[in-house]
Every structure is written in C-alpha cells, then in structure tokens.
Amino acid sequence: MFLSSPVMCAYQKIWQRTEAKKGLQFFLQMLCCSKMTQKTRVQTERIYIMLTGKTIILGVTGGIAAYKAANLASLLKKQHADVHVIMTKNALEFITPLTFEILTVNKCLTDTFDRNFKFEVEHIELAKKADLAIIAPATANVCAKLAHGLADDMLTTTLLACQCPRIIAPAMNTRMYENPITQDNLRLLEHYGFTIIEPASGLLACGDSGKGKFPDEGLILEYILRAIAYPKDLAGKKILVTAGPTQEAVDPVRYLTNHSTGKMGYALARMAMLRGAAVSLPAKLRCPRLRLSILSASKAHTTSLRQSPPGVRNRTLSSRRQPSLTTVRQSFLMKRSRNPTAI
C-alpha cells in the first residue's frame, strides 16, 4: 500500500499531537478506507511474482518422490515461469507426462530421439534458453551420471549442455544417501558449480526413518528464487537484520514490550538474501512448556497459584500489590509527553 504525501503529513501531525495508540488507530483507519488503484495492484503483484519471463528446466527422475515434482511445477507456473519438464525412462513408471503437460502447458520431453518435433537439436536449444535447471527428485543414479559427465538420455545430455545455474534435490533411501560413493558424487557436483539441496529427515516410503526425504517444495522454490529472481547487486555485502518484539525491563519482574510479529524484518532479510547478500537474522527462540497471556501483576499471581502444586496453592502469600503494566505504560507515556528529551 502506497500513501500519498498529504496523507503521510496528516498522519505525522496526528502522531505528534496524540498518544501512540491513537495515532496508530488513525493510521490503520486510513489504510482500511483508502482504495487501491489498478497501478498499485500491479505493483503489489510484482512483489510476489518473481519469475516472469524466466525459463526453467525441471528434471524428474525415477524415484517415489516423482509425484511431488508436479506440485513444484505448479508453484513455478504460478510464478509465471516458462517450465519445461524432462523425464527419465524410470520416472514414467511413477507419474505420466500428461500431468506435467497440463500443469506447464509445454510438451514433456522423455526421448532424445523423438521424431515429433521441429527440426532442431532440442536438448541444445533448450539448454541455451534456460535460465535455471533443477532436478527434483534426483536419484543416486542420476547424481552419479552428472558427477562423471555421463550423458545417455535426454535429461543428462541437456544438463551437460547447460551453462545456467543448476540445482540438485536428492531424494533416496537413507543408506543410499549416506553411502560414501553418493556423498563423493554430491561433493563433486558442488565442485562443478551445482547447488545441492540437503534432503529432509523423516519416515521414508520404504519404512526406514532418516535423511533422504524429498525437500519441501516451498524450500526448493526459495532456492530457485535466490538463484534467478533478482540481480545480485548486494553480492559480497553482509547485512544484519533484527526482527520481532523487544523488551525493556522496568524492574527485575516487569518489562515494557510491543506486539511486533517480526514480519517486516523477515521480509527485509528475505529480500536482501534474494539480492545476493549474506544476511544474519538473530532471533531469541523461547519454547516454554506452558505459555501464559499475562498483562498484570494480579493476573500473574492468580495464574501462578492455579498452575502451582496443591501444597503451594493453599499457602497464603502476603505481598505488596504491584501496579499493572497498563499503569506503568501510562506513566511512561506521560513522562515522555512532558519531557521528550529526558527519555
């Protein structure tokens, strides 16, 4: 949402003359009442659609996770990418080419010697116009072929001719993935410029549990966006972004905080990452066993007694009544309005 200069000036004046809460409420009312123009809608859509005009080769190999590649193709198509799917012979046993042809509106390539095409060396022409090539899922067999330069089908010949960014998303049994030969092949692919997405851990289709699951499609999409969505004008830069709520202690028990979700900080960090920067996003992760919504000292006392053991609950604790956080906040705002430079 983009606000005009007069609206921003009016908002700034109201913010200076009133308390923070009233100014924020007025600002939100202006956002809700303002109408989004067609130009603003187009600008907003461009923020989320990042692959317009990009050509992506999606290689699908013969693993049980081949069916998940259909969801990845759909995500890429929603980003307005031109997706071309190449399937190996074994991948045809798990999912049909018709599925990808419907999702991508392009012919699915399966055979190097297919005669039903226009006169051109198809794997070379496709490699020339590709902005990115990704194999998801990638079996141990295909990883070994690419690591040693073998090209005996449509997928491997096309990948061998590609000079664009190349991504590999391995998916296989845990023992196959942890085999030293497979690990050497993956390191060799990284040496040759391939990006390797580490597989997820969990219960596999064969019944084993461990590393080797197909990575989440959203994670794969983030790798693709980082590779080709934006020019890398921040490459070599190191950026530190803090996000989320802050806490300022009033005394050893109470503190002043805010309702920040950290979404803006996360969005800034993500955009800097997409533009090539090395981003650090420190976060204080707190995972308590029980989360309580406490806004006053009296409620804290009542809640703690309710959650405490019966022996402690029956005790009578006489303590001086503490002011609530609302009272402390009002006092803080009053002091700031009287003398802004003192705080």
Cα-based angle 151, 155, 157 (whole degrees, multiple of 5) = 35
Both structure tokens of 304: 């703690």
Domain extent listing, the chain: 55-228, 238-286
Task: Please report the pLDDT score of residue 120 as a whole number.
Answer: 60
Task: Please report the pLDDT score of residue 292 as a whole number.
Answer: 42
**Which residue intervals of 86-211 are DSSP H helices?**
97-104, 122-129, 140-147, 154-161, 174-178, 180-191
Is residue 298's pLDDT more than 80?
Answer: no
Task: Please report the pLDDT score of residue 30 as a whole number.
Answer: 43
Architecture field, domain 55-228: 3-Layer(aba) Sandwich (3.40)
What's the whole-number mean pLDDT along residues 322-342? 68
Comparing 106-110, 202-206, 220-224, which segment has the lowest mean pLDDT?
A: 202-206
Task: Please report the pLDDT score of residue 310 as a whole number.
Answer: 57
Both structure tokens of 291: 């989360």
Tokens 């590779």: give the residue: 227
Q: What is the pLDDT of residues 50-80, one digit of tens each?
A: 899 999 999 999 999 999 999 999 999 999 9
Q: Is 49 or 328 the better-scoring residue by pLDDT?
A: 49
Task: Please report the pLDDT score of residue 220 as a whole number.
Answer: 94
DSSP-derived pairing of the beta strands 238-240 and 278-280: parallel
Q: What is the pLDDT of residues 247-283, one digit of tens each?
A: 788 888 888 888 888 888 888 999 999 999 999 887 5
Which residues on adjacent β-strands are paired with residue 211? Answer: 201
**What value does the mean pLDDT of the chain take?**
78
Comparing 220-229, 237-246, 249-258, 279-288, which segment has the lowest mean pLDDT?
A: 279-288
| Active-site residue list | 206
Q: What is the pLDDT of residues 86-122, one digit of tens each?
A: 999 999 999 999 999 999 999 999 887 765 655 466 6
Is residue 243's pLDDT more than 70?
Answer: yes
Task: Please report the pLDDT score of residue 36 as a whole number.
Answer: 45
Packed helices 217-228 and 263-274: angle between N→C axes, nearest 10 degrees: 50
User: Percentage of the chain surpassing pLDDT 90?
Assistant: 46
**Residues in the chain, overall count:** 343
What is the rounded distance in angstroms from the CA atom of residue 252 to the CA atom of residue 192? 56
Task: Please report the pLDDT score of residue 241 as a whole number.
Answer: 87
